[in-house]
Structure 1
């Protein structure tokens, strides 16, 4: 990936510091590179320390400061460490919660208890932890940014990903609650589109009682050429944030809303 940082035309968030979860692969990794490329300082997070370090190395040369905190973002001590690291960089401006988990294939009653909980921890509990840790700081400074990765799954019923659909509905509603409770902080939902990521391949190769129905949907995305790259999806969010991010407050946006 090529990092471009045009100092003569600075991005709206140039020099700001953001927390970014899910940064070890897929859209999260592409987003880390894209944001660093426009001068955003980052504290990146994911559970895989090795892949997270690779992401950080991909940001070298951007001119931005990129630090890493590996671990499960649904744990308070991990998110608290991210906030502390942002303070070391020079202050926190907000967060982007790109982490997520699918566990596709089984009917909802077939899904193991620990798998159901893991989906909600990655999508919803981690979102809460970011809110809990960041909002006191952001409210004291009177402005900031909170971006939650949503999904069209939040408003659909799709056999084989029941936990994910429910978790995304909960996460999107949590973002709307935050928008209502803290109107001075820009809180928004970004739906990244149908992206060729590990989740897509997991769904295409899923097993379980609802796997056949799920495979038909996800294989069709690929066969019909509907998939976009992680880089294209990340670019969509960066473009949305490029001009007057406050206009995004309380809304649900997707990769097509680049204007």
Structure 2
């Protein structure tokens, strides 16, 4: 029996900024239920770092190997990690994550992510949601002013790779197109109403203009200004 999850439907790997690549993929979460899921790849010379890992199909995997050698796997969120082990084993890559994950807890980091951890990517820094009940981080790439998140902040501009039944369920859960703070994520990780407001205000101190999450698509330009509005509206209701 294969100990790794199989590769699911996905788009071709594309370059979204110089030496930064995006794969828009998917995950099957039950009968007739499929969601979108993304992986970001950062290239530094011949070394590659994978963020929010998604197992690639043979075509994309061949493209990945042509880009360079996978050296680092970065897990930013507790609810992701399904495909980390595949890349760790295949490439003998260094695994970066926070400690005490609830999901895929058997994966122990080689490098622990915390507020003082130096990122393996040049001119980048980790951001930690310190008030969250479950580990959640973001990664800010200064040169491209790109913020990489997992479930905390997402931008959707279509329903790509989402099955009809999943779309209905997501709509009922409050998901809409545009930039948003993940509602189910916020509910699960908040210790009490409004407890993450300070974290989001700290996140807004980073000088990002674009954003890409583990779901949805890339938002180019204006991401910080839009998130400021979202944060105010979200916690005004808390």
TM over 0.5: no
> RCO (CA 8 Å, sep 6+): is it higher in 1 or 2?
1
**Which protein is richer in helix relative to its size?**
1
TM-score (norm 2): 0.38
**Which protein is richer in strand relative to its size?**
2
Of structures 1 and 2, the larger Rg is shown by 1
